[in-house]
């Protein structure tokens, strides 16, 4: 970030909710044509807060931590636990 950039009074993440529901990118070309692209977030997309991202640099680290937490959840039915752990990709 350059020193001359001034974000005083700006709000971090103010477009976050709107982007979760999708957005449109419009490109006006020099030849007068316009390209409009609808962008929808991928199913299952999860956005981590900046303070959480400091501890989890990639998907593998997040998944490993969550799998550890899943092991702490008491099961009511032992077959449920077997199904959960057998469907988890490594």
Tens digit of pLDDT for each residue in 6-63?
Answer: 888 888 878 777 777 888 899 999 999 999 999 888 888 787 888 898 899 888 999 9
Name the domain count of the chain.
1
Domain assignment present for 1: no
Domain assignment present for 74: yes
Domain assignment present for 46: yes
Domain assignment present for 36: yes
Domain assignment present for 3: no
**Which pLDDT score, from 0 to 100, does residue 82 have?**
59
Give the whole-angstrom CA distance, residue 22 versus residue 39.
6
Domain assignment present for 44: yes
Domain assignment present for 68: yes
Name which of 51, 85, 48, 52 is nearest 67 in CA terms: 85
Instruction: Give the structural domain span for 78.
Output: 16-86
């Amino acid at each position: 970030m350059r020193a001359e950039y001034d974000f005083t009074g700006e709000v971090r993440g103010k477009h976050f909710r709107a982007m979760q529901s999708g957005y449109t990118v419009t490109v006006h070309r020099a030849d007068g044509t316009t390209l409009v692209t609808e962008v929808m977030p991928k199913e299952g997309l999860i956005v981590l807060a900046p303070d959480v991202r400091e501890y989890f640099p990639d998907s593998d680290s997040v998944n490993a931590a969550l799998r550890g937490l899943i092991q702490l959840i008491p099961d009511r039915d032992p077959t449920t636990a077997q199904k959960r752990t057998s469907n988890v990709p490594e």
